[in-house]
């Protein structure tokens, strides 16, 4: 499966930061930064369900699962049965990071 972290980061940057995500850290809270309103959360949930073929239950739609790229990556990785990937730079796919080192 493609790098979940990179895909989620790309989606968030393109749809909520309009391509300007250079300063966004994977641990940054979407709510504290004011990136999403309730409609944005619904759009994010729709993307996650469609892209990863998962269904989010109402009890899973909480900040502990959805409030940052880190939290989203861990949550979705668990939902799809994949170990969360740790990358030092989520803006670049893991296979390219290896080449860079």
Fold entry, domain 4-100: 1.10.1200
Residue partners of 5: CB distance under 8 A and separation at least 6: 26, 69, 73, 84, 85, 87, 90
Residue partners of 21: CB distance under 8 A and separation at least 6: 9, 12, 13, 91
Q: pLDDT averaged over the chain?
A: 84
Residue partners of 9: CB distance under 8 A and separation at least 6: 21, 24, 26, 69, 90, 91
Question: 48-74, pLDDT tens digit by residue?
Answer: 999 999 999 999 999 999 999 999 999
pLDDT at 1 over 50: no
pLDDT at 92 over 70: no
Domain boundaries of the chain, sorted by first residue: 4-100
């Amino acid at each position: 499966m493609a790098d979940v972290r990179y895909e989620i980061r790309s989606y968030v940057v393109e749809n909520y930061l309009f391509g300007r995500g250079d300063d966004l850290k994977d641990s940054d809270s979407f709510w504290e930064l004011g990136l999403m309103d309730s409609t944005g959360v619904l759009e994010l949930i729709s993307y996650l369900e469609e892209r990863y073929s998962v269904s989010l239950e109402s009890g899973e739609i909480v900040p502990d699962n959805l409030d940052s790229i880190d939290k989203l990556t861990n949550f979705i990785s668990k939902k799809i049965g994949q170990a969360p990937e740790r990358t030092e730079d989520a803006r670049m796919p893991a296979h390219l990071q290896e080449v860079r080192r």
